Amino acid sequence: MATYTKFQPFVEYLCEGVFDFTSDATCTLTVGLTTNANAPTAANGLLADITPIAYTNLSSRVATISASGQTGGTYTLTLNDLTLTASGTVATFRWVFLYDDDPTAPADPLICFWDYGSDLTLNNGESLTIDFGADAGTTGTLFTLA
């Protein structure tokens, strides 16, 4: 199972209103992939801090929000699982990260990343399903905030 880590600046971005997961039609949560040589760190804050692989031969990387809101003072963001499918060989990667590709947000702010522990390569017809809630213990729950 991949290890989840939030990018530390994400907390500041939340408090400063960079994200609006419920009513911002331009909020486009997007998955990025990178190699171990370009591994993200928790201190990274923007997409420019990471060197992604080329996404040639890869299906859409846009995640879908399935639920967003608070109950009893706890906010929960839930995403549908995302299946990445290769239509040819995809460059080797180890790290998967999530960012907001919103054209109105500052420089594509980073949210979190997962270390898959070893290099992965998708060949033609192969796929990888990203379960955004695997580490939270609840399928699809990316994070909760209380």
Mean pLDDT, residues 81-100: 96
Q: What is the pLDDT of residue 20?
A: 82
Nearest Cα residue to 94 out of 30, 2, 4: 2
* Residue 127: strand pairing partners: 85
Q: Report the Cα 121 to chain-centroid distance in Å.
A: 18
Find the range with the poorest average confidence among 52-56, 105-109, 126-130: 105-109
In the chain, what are the domain boundaries? 3-145
Q: What is the pLDDT of residue 135?
A: 56
Query: What's the mean pLDDT when you consider all of the chain?
Result: 90
Give 134's pLDDT tier (boundaries 50, 70, 90): low
Give 117's pLDDT tier (boundaries 50, 70, 90): very high
Please report, for residues 60, 66, 77, the alpha-carbon distance to residue 57 in angstroms, rounded to integers and kept in the order given. Answer: 10, 26, 29
| Single-letter residue type at 125 | G
d(CA 57, CA 123): 9
